[in-house]
């Protein structure tokens, strides 16, 4: 299922709610989203969970809103402020900065992430003030484009490869401009060939599940109509990996 994730809820919490709605024994996902983020969250059920690892390899598209002049320890508005700096730059300087991020780049994963070190997520170390050395990895930024600028707020469109942290891009833009920056809104628009027009809202799921006019069987049937077939996912995996 292609769920339009709601803001302010962790991916794990949302996954448990979906498992409850569908009376599913086994659920998985194809990449988490931060609590601050919204947009495409791919959820797999039953045998389809085996395909999740292949879906992780797909390119992704995002729209991100960032605030210049303030950097945080998590690189987004959920974190603690590390530095406040004046923002003095020309539009051409900003555009040149953004353009410089296009291409294959080395990116160091943020400490506040779900990546594991010795079996423990990095964010748990970060919360204890422990810094773990992370190896930089190659990511491909196919497109990074300024959509809008209003005072110290910028809105970007980013099309990138798997494993790319948009929060890190924004933090790096802030460092490039010597003023700091952090994410205030983030929306995943697509994963592979799956576009946002195919997403199901959480509100829609609630309206079906809690509708007293439907029997339990009718609820399950209506929820099943919102699922993407396994064959569609398999076909996309074969296309991407050939």
Task: Enumerate the domain spans of the chain.
Answer: 2-57+193-240, 60-191
Question: 60-191 domain in CATH 3.30.2350.10?
Answer: yes
Query: 176 by DSSP, 3-state: which?
Result: helix
What is the distance between the alpha carbons of residues 6 and 10, in angstroms, rounded to a whole number? 9
What is the distance between the alpha carbons of residues 107 and 144, in angstroms, rounded to a whole number? 15
Closest CA to 11 of 167, 172, 188: 188
Q: Are 92 and 202 in contact (CB under 8 A)?
A: no
What is the distance between the alpha carbons of residues 115 and 10, in angstroms, rounded to a whole number? 15
Tell me the H-state helices in 73-215. Answer: 91-99, 122-127, 166-176, 202-209
Q: pTM of the prediction?
A: 0.90
In tens digits, the chain (242 residues) has pLDDT values of: 899 999 999 998 999 999 999 998 899 888 889 999 999 999 988 888 888 888 888 999 999 999 999 999 999 999 999 999 999 888 899 999 999 999 999 999 999 998 899 999 999 999 999 999 999 999 999 999 999 999 999 999 999 999 999 999 999 999 999 999 999 999 999 998 888 888 999 999 999 999 999 999 999 999 999 988 777 776 666 665 55
Query: 223 by DSSP, 3-state: which?
Result: helix
Instruction: Specify the pairing of strand 2-5 against strand 200-201.
Output: parallel
Place of tokens 């989203």: 33
Task: Tell me the catalytic residues.
Answer: 34
């Amino acid at each position: 299922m292609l769920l339009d994730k709601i803001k302010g809820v962790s991916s794990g919490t949302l996954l448990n709610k979906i498992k409850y709605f569908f009376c599913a024994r086994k659920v998985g996902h194809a990449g988490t989203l931060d609590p601050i983020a919204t947009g495409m969250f791919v959820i797999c059920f039953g045998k389809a969970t085996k395909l999740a690892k292949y879906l992780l390899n797909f390119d992704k598209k995002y729209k991100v809103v960032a605030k210049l002049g303030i950097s945080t320890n998590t690189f987004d508005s959920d974190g603690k402020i590390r530095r406040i700096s004046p923002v003095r730059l020309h539009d051409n300087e900003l555009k040149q900065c953004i353009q410089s991020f296009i291409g294959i780049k080395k990116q160091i994963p943020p400490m506040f992430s779900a990546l594991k070190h010795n079996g423990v997520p990095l964010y748990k170390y970060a919360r204890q003030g422990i810094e773990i050395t992370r190896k930089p990895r190659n990511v491909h930024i196919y497109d990074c484009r300024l959509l809008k600028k209003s005072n110290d707020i910028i809105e970007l469109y980013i099309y990138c490869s798997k494993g790319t942290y948009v929060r890190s891009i924004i933090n790096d833009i802030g460092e490039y401009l010597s003023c700091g920056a952090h994410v205030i809104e983030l929306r995943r628009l697509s994963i592979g060939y799956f576009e946002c027009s195919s997403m199901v809202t959480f509100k829609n799921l609630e309206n079906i599940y809690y509708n007293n006019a439907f029997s339990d069987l009718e609820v399950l049937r209506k929820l099943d109509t919102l699922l993407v077939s396994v064959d569609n996912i398999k076909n996309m995996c074969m296309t991407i990996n050939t």
